[in-house]
Amino acid sequence: MKLTATLALCASLLQAQKGVLPSWNDGPAKQAIIEFVRATTDKSSPQFVPPEDRIATFDQDGTTWVSHPMYTEVIFALDRVAELAPQHPEWKATPPFSAVLAHDREAMAKFTMKDLEAILMATHSGMTPEDFQSTVKRWLVTASDPRFHRNYTDLVYQPMLEVMKYLRDNGYKTYIVTGGGQDFVRTYAEQVYGIPPGQIIGTAVDTQYAFDKAGQGILIKEPKLLLNNDFAGKPEDIYLFTGKRPRAAFGNSTGDRQMLEYTQSGGGARLIMLVLHDDPVREYAYGPAQGLPDTKIGTFPQSLYDEAKTKGWTVISMKNDWNRIFPFGSTGSASRRKKSK
Amino acid sequence: MKLTATLALCASLLQAQKGVLPSWNDGPAKQAIIEFVRATTDKSSPQFVPPEDRIATFDQDGTTWVSHPMYTEVIFALDRVAELAPQHPEWKATPPFSAVLAHDREAMAKFTMKDLEAILMATHSGMTPEDFQSTVKRWLVTASDPRFHRNYTDLVYQPMLEVMKYLRDNGYKTYIVTGGGQDFVRTYAEQVYGIPPGQIIGTAVDTQYAFDKAGQGILIKEPKLLLNNDFAGKPEDIYLFTGKRPRAAFGNSTGDRQMLEYTQSGGGARLIMLVLHDDPVREYAYGPAQGLPDTKIGTFPQSLYDEAKTKGWTVISMKNDWNRIFPFGSTGSASRRKKSK
């Protein structure tokens, strides 16, 4: 190829890249994504990946939408306890339900995993998946985040929506792999992320096949955990659902560590990314700088940061790598900085 | 539309249908398939189904390939017991393994479900899914069916391959939903049925995330049942994997009953089919005429036949509805009849 032709090609490639991932600032994170896609989809690349193996998995809470200061699904469950209370008079005197009904914030702040599990089970079982999803849908259009005054489904990260679409446009199949409830996320994932129900891998309770009064076959959600899709559960369930190892994986906390390790262990070109919450102005800051313990769920402790650096994973700085956080409004960093002056 | 135009359209539709499902004889079974596809894919049809809801589920053993007189996967497991015996000297004196190693057919014929489970667990766990699948692949190219003198993956039903393709050509996503092992079927399903690993729903053991000697993240198959994908387990797992209710379901035994009921209970146009093994010349005959008990696994007892008739399910007669059984050789009914005279 002549030099002029090469230069023309480079110019056109750069031009094409400009339109890609517009909410990402130029930098190592954006470059890592673009280079990974090039290396795995260019047929002449030694790291080419056939389309059927192009699998990308995304944690949800803190990775694709806001999960601070409380998981959205937990807020839903607490609201449901209040709504269901008339049918459960015993809850008034039964912890942990009593604390929720009394709005006892101090007691709620001390909830153990067992307390939360009791609340989740009571609000996530005893009905068909269809009825559960109707309840979630009703809640999602009315509930509002107290800081952003937006529905929770608005609080998704625009840059992650762009990565999902960019990967799909390049033949990747995108999955949500969440510690959250599979049926909860299925309610809105198609609309919000463009990801269909069959590509939502989440924590799941058992269902029981039964007949309704009309003799029709239905499923009933049981108060019994079937898949605990967090930590080691993530790679285990990814294999259960897909029969494959992901090529790209996105997380933000210790619950994603094994998914990221498992993805990288496949060898070849892999994209491993961690979202670092370091933007208290536009979102929140609760990264390694907070000195959080290694075992606390949903956190990004120093040990994870160190592992990322050692293994060459890409840490995404919300503050520096994203010029826009949410799809709504003017959340660009330039305009924000002007406003915050 | 003018009459002549209508007639021309009908003629061309009939012509198009002729090329469809060539191994199916004209009759109610073939018509049910074609009419279902028309009703659910024609945009002007009141029973139109949007592409994302077009899900068709197929049982495997006895529905898409030969499962008589023994499940292929059980034959594999018995062969594996012999192969693994040197590493398990204790098996020589431990039932049920001792019976397998002594080729004690009488004892093997009396194996309980618990015996079979012990054999399946011993041969299906303690390794990575990748190592398990390598073993299955090696076995599949050497093992041969004693009656047909063919590899087991050759013993698939050509008419069912045609239905799968016909449904896929019309926007349906096809799934195998099998009481057999998910990882076993995943080994060959893409090649044999054109169905990728992520669309195989099967009986599955737990896996355990671990590190290999090189520090790489791997999964190990554990001797612990996670999903028992038979009977009520089928609708439960279909929902777990897809978040949907199938529009079409194919089975051949009591283990498929709940999947078929669940599919029909969704209402609207549904295709519910049962393969009846009534062709002892070209394959086997072990249908309701054999007076089998309702509870025996893998059988088509009178009660299932009666339910099919009551609920309007289509029973496929292998003898009458299929002019060809296998993809190989000349197994057409005409040539068979000539030969058997």
Question: Which two three-digit tokens encode residue A336?
Answer: 């924000």
Contact A262/B52, CB-based, under 8 Å?
Answer: no
Instruction: Spell out which residues of chain B touch residue A190, defining contact as CB-CB under 8 Å.
Output: 52
Task: Tell me the pLDDT tens digit for each residue of A282-302.
Answer: 999 988 877 766 667 778 999
pLDDT of residue A334: 40
A5-19 in b/e form (b: 16+ CB < 10 A) is: eeeeeeeeeeeeeee
Closest CB from A204, A244, A261 relative to B240: A204
Contact B239/A262, CB-based, under 8 Å?
Answer: no
Contact A208/B129, CB-based, under 8 Å?
Answer: no
Contact B261/A217, CB-based, under 8 Å?
Answer: yes
Is residue B335 predicted with pLDDT exceeding 90? no
Contact A261/B217, CB-based, under 8 Å?
Answer: yes
Is residue B334 predicted with pLDDT exceeding 50? no
CB pairs under 8 A between A and B: 87
Is residue B257 predicted with pLDDT exceeding 70? yes
Closest CB from B198, B204, B239 relative to A219: B239
Rounded to the nearest angstrom, the minimum Cα separation between A310 and chain B is 14
Quote the Cα angle for A118-A119-A122, to 5°: 85
Is residue B4 predicted with pLDDT exceeding 90? no
Q: What span, in angstroms and rounded, lies between the C-alpha atoms of B179 and B198?
A: 16
- Residue of A213, A225, A236 for testing the chain B interface, max B β-carbons within 10 Å: A236
Question: Which residue type does A240 have?
Answer: L
Instruction: Spell out which residues of chain B touch residue A204, defining contact as CB-CB under 8 Å.
Output: 240
Closest CB from B204, B208, B235 relative to A209: B235
pLDDT of residue A19: 86
Question: Which two three-digit tokens encode residue B94?
Answer: 């431990």
Residue B231: closest C-alpha in chain A: A209
Instruction: Spell out which residues of chain B touch residue A218, defining contact as CB-CB under 8 Å.
Output: 262, 265
Taking each helix axis as running N to C, give the angle between helix A129-142 and helix A72-84, from 0 to 180 degrees, rounded to the nearest 10.
100
Task: Tell me the pLDDT tens digit for each residue of A303-336.
Answer: 999 999 999 999 999 999 999 999 997 654 444 4
Is residue B86 predicted with pLDDT exceeding 50? yes
Q: What span, in angstroms and rounded, lies between the C-alpha atoms of A193 and A196?
A: 9
Rounded to the nearest angstrom, the minimum Cα separation between A235 and chain B is 7
What value of ipTM does the predicted structure carry?
A: 0.92
- DSSP letters along A103-160, please? T-HHHHHT--HHHHHHHHHHHH-SS-HHHHHHHHHHHHHH---TTT-S-GGG-B-HHH
Name the percent of chain B lying above pLDDT 90.
Answer: 85
Is residue A10 predicted with pLDDT exceeding 70? no
Residue A181: closest C-alpha in chain B: B240
pLDDT of residue A15: 54
pLDDT of residue A287: 80
pLDDT of residue B316: 98
Give the three-state DSSP class for A200: strand
Question: Which residue type does A294 have?
Answer: D
Is residue A340 predicted with pLDDT exceeding 50? no
What global pTM score does this model have? 0.92
Task: Tell me the pLDDT tens digit for each residue of A179-228.
Answer: 999 999 999 999 999 999 999 999 999 999 999 999 999 999 999 999 99
Contact B258/A206, CB-based, under 8 Å?
Answer: no
Rounded to the nearest angstrom, the minimum Cα separation between A180 and chain B is 14
Element (H, E) at A208: strand A200-211
Region of B196 (left: φ > 0; alpha: ψ -120 to 50; beta: rest) is: beta
pLDDT of residue A299: 84
Task: Tell me the pLDDT tens digit for each residue of A18-74.
Answer: 689 999 999 999 999 999 999 999 999 999 999 999 999 999 999 999 999 999 999
Task: Tell me the pLDDT tens digit for each residue of A221-267.
Answer: 999 999 999 999 999 999 999 999 999 999 999 999 999 999 999 99
